[in-house]
Structure formats: structure tokens, C-alpha cells
Amino acid sequence: MAINVLLRLLVLTSAHAVVSNGSSWPYAAHDTSGLARGGTYGPNSSTGFATLWAYHGVVKGPNQGYSYSYTNPIVSEDGTLFVTELKSYSNAGTASSKVIAINNSGAFLWSYDYNGGQVDDSVLTTPVLAGGIIYTTTQVHDIPLLNNKIVALSPLNGSLLWSAKLDDFQDPYAPSLSFPAVDESKGMLYINRIPSDDVFAFNSSGNLQWESRSGNTPPGGYSSYAPAPRLGSDLVFVLGCLRHVRALNKSTGALVWEFFDVKGIEEATFVLIGNTLIVGGFNSTSGEVGVWALNATGVVLWHYADPAWTGLEGDGYFGLSIGGLAVNSEAGVIASTAFQGETASTPIGVYCINATDGSLIWHTATSIKDTSLYSRDGLGAPSIDAAGVIFIPGQRCAVVKFDPCLCIYSLTANGTLISFTVLPDTGNSYGSRISIATPGRLYISAFDSVVALVAAPSPPPSPAPSASSSHRTVLIAGLCGLAVILLGAGVFFRYHLKNKTPEEFQLLAGSDK
């Protein structure tokens, strides 16, 4: 399960982060700094969430042996969603993928198949939207002519604008390319490749400007997933095959420094705040899980770890890990914890950490998890809307049967739980980050669908009494009051007039005389 950490930022905002655009979500983590903070408002989630629509693509028939999954939704200013649709085979071990465009009503618009359906072993990364162009990268295993390309597409119809081949390098470890990080002010694209630890810089026309070869040899247990670079003013930060940090000169690609003490870092746990790099992972020597801050020279500024995490470290799959980072507009980093294990009592939660000194601002404890109903819970990477509301996807698995489903948490800017909603028909997707682009909506990719969520409707109010029922109520109340008066009179006469003499009756009644 992952731990979401929110780092509050006072003045440490990145000049290269696109945080003011409230109508788009162009990267998996919103921008090239990975802040995961949008400029528009999500749903008023006090009532929870409801599915507005779900795009399922091609429906799998019985015994066809394949399934579909989708990458993080990228959203343009006009509300068009772009995702990569991955078709996986359970029996052949191969896969193919396409870029899919969906309108804001959930209807299919167009698709781009890199190989035209000719080769059934291609993998496209999460698309990005920058400068009015869709960029993605692809690798086709064991086919040199098709391997390792960057592709530029028109967002209007998916037509190919250009493609650029990286090289003929055949990596025996099956290379993985990151999606590009685009510096629009300089017209440059930066791509990371794992496990060779190569970094490539292209201009916006697809011409290679420089490449950086690390010479690192991946050991056993290396990461096969290439996180996208983070862009500073002068440096490009990438994660190497050891899931460690490398800082390169942005203009030349020359290595400036490497940081090996923290590993287990993934794309969602890698965020740049001004010149401060925040990473979530585990210490390569002690195995301690935590969040670290590095300055522009790679020196550790601070480290945060909850004492409850001690002894729960793992290998990045089994054990405790940091599920994702996001940065609010004030002064904090938000982190989520995740745990891939069978223990329902494992501490998961959301943490807000001061980005300046690493002190804890607040922590939402594991009470948000209902251990009586579910086990193997986990939190994915957080996203933050313009009001500071935090939205986090999670995974829930029934105790009786491993049947994962998507759930959504929403929290206030100070960590108070607003709502928790289980979406049982959406499949497992706590690895996908929520995109916040259209006011009042959330977009997320589930295991087999792309889903748009809105606020669930409030329960209907109790019906107001009608005029006739009100009259009946008054009549009944009046009759009941009359009955009480008559009963009281009867009691009075029974106990006060009984056995009175005629003279006493005359005195009680009064005399005319």
C-alpha cells in the first residue's frame, strides 16, 4: 500500500511548473515538476462520488485470452481525454497498445496504432500534451527497426506529425522509455531510458540535440519502468536503473551529480519544488522507508519517516512504500503510504510534511480503512484541486476473494476526511493518478476502463406533509384534546361530587337567592 505525502510550499514554487492552467491536465502528474496540483475545482465530495460515464473500449469476449488497461488520463483545454490503451494477452505474453482520444462525454474520437496492427508486441507510454502536440514513446521488443521511437501526433485526429528513432540499440533487458518532459519555452523534449540509464534531448521537430550514456549495468532487481524526467531551470533530474537520482546539465546532458542513498523511487514519488528535489523511497543501506529532500547539489536537506514504518520496509513490491507525492499551494508535500501485503493492520495513511524543514504538519491515520470488510488496502498518488482538496485513489480487496476494486478518498487541505467511496465495478487502479481538469469532475483510469466521476447526489429530503394531511393532524389533535378535557371532567365529578348532599350541590353550583 502506498502512503500519500503532501508537502506544503510557502515560497518554493517552480517557474517551470504549469500550475495556473485550470482547464487541462497535460502530464500524469500535471506538470514537468510533478506537483500534481490543478487550477480548477474537483467535485463537492461530501456525499461521495458517482460514475458519470465509463469508457470500456473493446469488450472482451469469453475465452479470448486478453484484457485491456489504460494509462493516466491526459486532458486538453477543450475536455478531450488522451490515454494509452494496452491490450494484454494471458496466454502469449505479448501486448499491443494504441493512443485513444475520448471526448468529455466518454465517446470514442480516434486512435493511433503505432504499428498499424502489423506487429503485436508494441508498448506505448502515457501520452503527454505540450504545445498543442501529443507526444508518446514506443518500444517494440526484439524488432530493431521499430524499437525506441518518440512519436508526435495531432490531438485533433491522431495523425502522425513526426517520429524520431533513438538508435538501433538492442537492450537484452527489454528497454523501457519514459514519456517525454517538454520544456516549451526552449522547445526541448527530454526522455529517460531504463535500464541502460540513457537520457535523450530532442527539439520540437524531432532532431536529437544530445544524449547521455551512463554506463550503469543493471543488477538483479533493477527497475524496468522509466519514470519521466523532472525539469529544473538548469538541470534535468532522472531516475536511474537502480531507482536512484541522477542530475544532468539541461543544455549538454553532462552528469552533474548522482545520489544513491535513496532507492525504490518511482515516477509518482519524485517531485521538484524550485531547486529542491523531494523523493520518496527507501534507504539502500538501512532499508528505512521515508521521504528525503535534496538541494541543487544533491545534498540531503531533511528526511522524514513515521516511527510506525520501522520494520515494514520491503523490496518496493512487498512491504511498505511511498505511493505518491503532491505539492499544495501553501507550504507542504503530501505523501501516501502503500503496503503490498496480507496484513490488514499495516499503517497506511496520508502525511503533510513541511517542504522547508521536513517537519510533520498533519497526518490522517489509518482509521480511513475499514479492516472489518477489506484487506490489502493501499493508497495511490494524490492529486490536489484549486481549493486544496486532496483526492487519492485506493485499492480495496475483499477478504473472502481477491477481487480488487477502485476506491476514492477526498480530504480537506488540513487532512480531514471528507468522503470515501468504493466503486466496485471499476477494477483495480490505485496506481493511476486522478486528473482534475473539468470543474466538478475527476478522471481516472481503472483496470479496464477510463472513468469520469462527479459528486454523488444527496439523499432525497423527507417529503413535506400535504395540506390534507396537515388538516387531519389538526383534527386528530383537536379530538384528542377534547377527549382529555372530557376525561378530566369525568374524573372531577366522580371524585368531587360523589356523596354530596343537596345543600352541598347547591353551594357548589351557586344560588340565585
Give the pLDDT confidence of 60-90 residue by residue, as tens digits: 544 455 566 788 899 999 999 999 887 765 5
Q: What is residue 315's predicted lDDT score, i.e. its pLDDT? A: 46
pLDDT at 347 over 90: no
pLDDT at 172 over 70: no
* Residue with more model confidence, 427 or 72: 72
pLDDT at 488 over 90: no
pLDDT at 248 over 90: yes
* Residue with more model confidence, 243 or 314: 243
Average pLDDT over residues 259-268: 74
Ranges of beta strands (E only) in 323-411 are 326-327, 332-339, 350-354, 360-364, 374-379, 383-384, 390-398, 405-411
Q: What is residue 370's predicted lDDT score, i.e. its pLDDT? A: 46
pLDDT above 70 covers what percent of the chain?
60
d(CA 139, CA 118): 14
DSSP string for residues in 162-199: EEEE------TT--EEPPPEEETTTTEEEEEEETTTEE
d(CA 380, CA 366): 14
Phi, psi of 20 (to 5 degrees): -90, -15
Top-ranked range on mean pLDDT: pick from 8-12, 229-233, 285-289, 377-381: 229-233
Q: What is residue 449's predicted lDDT score, i.e. its pLDDT? A: 85
The contacts of residue 443 (CB under 8 Å, 6+ apart) are 25, 73, 75, 81, 434, 435, 436, 437, 450, 451, 452, 453
Q: pLDDT-derived band of residue 393, with 50, 70 and 90 as boundaries?
A: confident
Q: pLDDT-derived band of residue 116, with 50, 70 and 90 as boundaries?
A: low
Average pLDDT over residues 306-334: 71
Q: What is residue 142's predicted lDDT score, i.e. its pLDDT? A: 52
pLDDT at 435 over 50: yes
Q: What is residue 478's predicted lDDT score, i.e. its pLDDT? A: 53
* Residue with more model confidence, 92 or 360: 360
pLDDT at 19 over 50: no
Q: What is residue 104's predicted lDDT score, i.e. its pLDDT? A: 92
Q: What is residue 193's predicted lDDT score, i.e. its pLDDT? A: 80
- Whether 301 contacts 343, CB under 8 Å: no
pLDDT, mean over the chain: 74
Q: pLDDT-derived band of residue 322, with 50, 70 and 90 as boundaries?
A: confident
* Residue with more model confidence, 369 or 485: 485
Average pLDDT over residues 87-97: 59
The mean-pLDDT minimum among 28-37, 334-343, 363-372, 423-432 falls in 363-372
The mean-pLDDT minimum among 101-115, 216-230, 428-442, 468-482 falls in 468-482
Q: What is residue 466's predicted lDDT score, i.e. its pLDDT? A: 56
pTM: 0.81
* Residue with more model confidence, 138 or 92: 138
Question: Residue 476: helix, strand or coil by DSSP?
Answer: helix
Q: pLDDT-derived band of residue 294, with 50, 70 and 90 as boundaries?
A: very high
Q: What is residue 141's predicted lDDT score, i.e. its pLDDT? A: 55
* Residue with more model confidence, 110 or 56: 110
Average pLDDT over residues 414-435: 77
* Residue with more model confidence, 191 or 143: 191
pLDDT at 468 over 70: no
Amino acid sitting at position 501: T
Q: What is residue 367's predicted lDDT score, i.e. its pLDDT? A: 42
Cell of residue 265, nine digits: 523511487
Q: What is residue 8's predicted lDDT score, i.e. its pLDDT? A: 39
Residue with cell 519555452: 185
pLDDT at 167 over 70: no
